[in-house]
Amino acid sequence: MPEHQITEEEVRERVRALLKEAHPDKTDQFTFRGKQFDHGLAWVHFPKGYGGLGISPGMQTIVADELHRNAKTTYDDMAINPIGIGMGAPTVLTHGTEWMKTNLLRRIFTGEDIWCQLFSEPGAGSDVAGLATRAVREGDYWKVNGQKVWTTLAHVSRWGMLLARTNPDAPKHSGMSYFLLDMKSPGVDVRPLYQITGEAEFNEIFLTDVQVPADRIMGKEGEGWKVAITTLMNERTAIGGATARRGGGAIGVLVDLWKSRAPAMYSAAHETVMRDRITRLYIESELLRMTNLRARAARKAGNPGPEGSVAKLAQAELNKRIWECAMDVIGGESLVYEPGFARRRPAANDHPSRLLQAKYQFLRSRANSIEGGTSEVMRNILGERVLGLPGEPRGDKDIPWKNIPRSA
Ligand SMILES: Cc1cc2nc3c(=O)[nH]c(=O)nc-3n(C[C@H](O)[C@H](O)[C@H](O)COP(=O)(O)OP(=O)(O)OC[C@H]3O[C@@H](n4cnc5c(N)ncnc54)[C@H](O)[C@@H]3O)c2cc1C
């Protein structure tokens, strides 16, 4: 007999049952989210026992909606543990060992263990398969040496997703393996890198004779690229596929700014032009939001395909235009960057006013078309995997990695 399909109303009932057992307004984050995981409401498309119910990922919006209706305190996954929840969890579920699934998933969701991603290197970003960090097997351990860069949240992370070269004689894509790295291991040196915003949300990492136990490999030895693709596809969906409520997120800030400043600052003619520009951005935001909702509802349980890359491209480019428009709305004042932006590690979204938030986001949004794969690389994926255009020439694909000329 086919398994009973859980309906929307049943999902709502499950949320109400959860709230009777633990309420976010009355208990702390770890306790509440731990219970949410146990009820299968963390990520509903995951299997039962791993924080899910094995149903369509689209049902997660029902969980969020029911929580919003019944509690003042709501949690944003992407603020709590963006890399752990967005990328670590699906990677562990797809390629992790039973120990990893049982011991790591719940703590990722609660936010007890923050995660980071150690892929990029000084000589390998878009072409991450060209990476040079080496892992050499020594008995029960892999010994790792190398350098990673742009590692978001590494300074607060418990676990890292580490991609390293285990066979330099193989072609670049087939000589890598994927490891779960304990960020507290001896030999892991994390140093801050400051961005144009003044914040250091990411780091450079030096790995010197770091010992990784042999059973901390994800997937098989030499098949790290396959595992990395799972991480990357989920990263793009996490960045591009986030769906704020209608009129919320960046476009909401822009509209608020406009309402509070327009009458005082603009001539009637200029106001008409700006109004038109903001309306267009609003329509584009709404189109993207609805496209993401449709893609999520249509997706069966499992890992996302190229739609994540398309959403990421659209989101990154739209976000930049929204914050550019916000600077035009603010006018000359946008050139002043307040002293509150001294160099620091990022706290949560603690920018006090819409004005400050817009200035910060204008600078931060430049990174949107770089992080998680650049817009040019997203267009390559769109061209090849969605439109079926011929791939770009890849002359180094089949030769041993050690024979590929390198600059770093
Ligand atoms: C805010 C932020 C957070 C990040 N967090 C992490 C993290 O946590 N972990 C991690 O591992 N990495 C992280 N990254 C790194 C990010 O993934 C890389 O910066 C990105 O993939 C680009 O690599 P690169 O900087 O080496 O640029 P390059 O790959 O050197 O690219 C330089 C330019 O060449 C273009 N280009 C390159 N190849 C092609 C091609 N085939 N076709 C067309 N154009 C091309 C690019 O689009 C770009 O404009 C982060 C980056 C940022 C900005």
Q: What is the DSSP string of 279-298?
A: HHHHHHHHHHHHHHHHHHHH
CA distance 138 to 82: 33
Alpha carbon nearest to ligand 1 atom 24, residue: 125
Q: Which of 371, 379, 384, when mutated, tests ligand 1's pocket best, judged by the most ligand atoms within 8 Å of its CB?
A: 371
Q: Per the domain annotation, does 337 fall within a domain?
A: yes
Same domain, 137 and 181: yes
Which protein residue's CA is at the shortest distance from atom 13 of ligand 1? Answer: 150
24 and 92 share one domain: yes
Looking from the CA of residue 380, the nearest atom of ligand 1 is: 42
Ligand 1 centre to CA of 181 (Å) is 22
Tell me what pLDDT residue 133 has: 98
CA of 368 to the centre of ligand 1 (A): 10
Specify the ligand 1 atom closest to the Cα of 127: 29
Residue 373 CA, ligand 1 centroid: distance in Å:
5
Answer yes or no: do 97 and 130 share one domain: no
pLDDT values of the chain reduced to their tens digit, one per residue, 408 residues:
556 689 999 999 999 999 999 999 999 999 999 999 999 999 999 999 999 999 988 899 899 999 999 999 999 998 899 999 999 999 999 999 999 999 999 999 999 999 999 999 999 999 999 999 999 999 999 999 999 999 999 999 999 999 999 999 999 999 999 999 999 999 999 999 999 888 899 999 999 999 999 999 999 999 999 999 999 988 888 777 666 778 888 999 999 999 988 766 777 788 889 999 999 999 999 999 988 887 777 666 667 778 788 889 999 999 999 999 999 998 888 888 766 566 777 764 556 677 888 888 999 999 999 999 999 999 999 999 889 999 988 889 899 999 998 875
Contact 143, 211 (CB under 8 A): yes
Out of 120, 131, 172, 309, give the residue to mutate to test ligand 1, the one with the largest number of ligand atoms within 8 Å of its CB.
120
Pair (239, 375) in one structural domain: yes
Catalytic entry in 201, 204, 235, 307: 235
Q: Which of 183, 203, 222 is the last residue of a domain?
A: 222
Specify whether 78 is located in the same domain as 128.
no
Whether the CB-CB separation of 51 and 43 falls below 8 Å is answered with yes
Burial of 372 (0-12, 13-18, 19+ CB in 10 A): buried
Instruction: Please tell me the residue having the least CA distance from ligand 1 atom 48.
Output: 374
The answer to whether 26 and 19 are in contact (CB under 8 A) is no
Q: 196 in a domain, yes or no?
A: yes
* Catalytic annotation present for 235: yes
The owner of tokens 């600052």 is 265
Asked whether residue 82 is assigned to any structural domain, the reply reads yes
**Domain assignment of residue 228, yes or no:** no
Residue that finishes a domain, picked among 156, 187, 222 = 222
Specify the CATH number for the domain of residue 297.
1.20.140.10
Which residues approach ligand 1 with their CB closer than 6 A?
116-120, 125-126, 150-152, 202, 367, 370-371, 373-374, 376-377, 380, 392
What's at 303, amino acid-wise?
N
* 14 and 76 assigned to the same domain: yes
State the total domains in the chain: 3
Q: Within this chain, do residues 167 and 209 fall inside the same structural domain, yes or no?
A: yes
Based on the number of CB atoms within 10 Å of its own CB, is 336 exposed (0-12), middle (13-18) or buried (19 or more)? exposed
CATH of the domain at 57: 1.10.540.10
Asked if 245 and 327 sit in the same domain, the reply is yes
Helices (H), 84-183: 89-95, 98-110
Ligand 1, residue 83: give the atom nearest the CA.
8
Co-location of 265 and 381 in the same domain: yes
Give exposure, 283-312, as e/b (b: 16+ Cβ within 10 Å): ebbeebbebbeebbeebeeebbebbbbbbb
Asked if residue 395 is part of any domain, the answer here is no
**Which ligand 1 atom is the nearest neighbour of the CA of 364?**
1
Residue 54 is assigned to a structural domain of this protein: yes
Does residue 100 fall inside a structural domain?
yes
Distance CA 147, CA 205 (A): 6
Structural domain boundaries enclosing 87: 8-110
CA of residue 309 to ligand 1 center, whole Å: 14
Kindly state whether residues 237 and 371 are assigned to the same domain: yes
Domain end (from 177, 202, 222): 222
Asked whether residue 211 falls in the same domain as residue 239, the answer is no
397 within domain boundaries: no
Query: Which tens digit of pLDDT belongs to each residue from 244-288?
Result: 778 888 999 999 999 988 766 777 788 889 999 999 999 999 999
pLDDT for the residue numbered 342: 66
Q: What's the Cα-to-Cα distance from 344 to each of 193, 201, 218, 349, rounded to whole Å?
A: 10, 9, 34, 13
Mutate to test the pocket of ligand 1, among 116, 231, 360, 374 (most ligand atoms within 8 A of CB): 374
Nearest CA to ligand 1 atom 51: 371
53 and 123 both lie in a single domain: no
Distance CA 19, CA 67 (A): 8
Looking at the CA of residue 375, tell me the nearest atom of ligand 1.
47
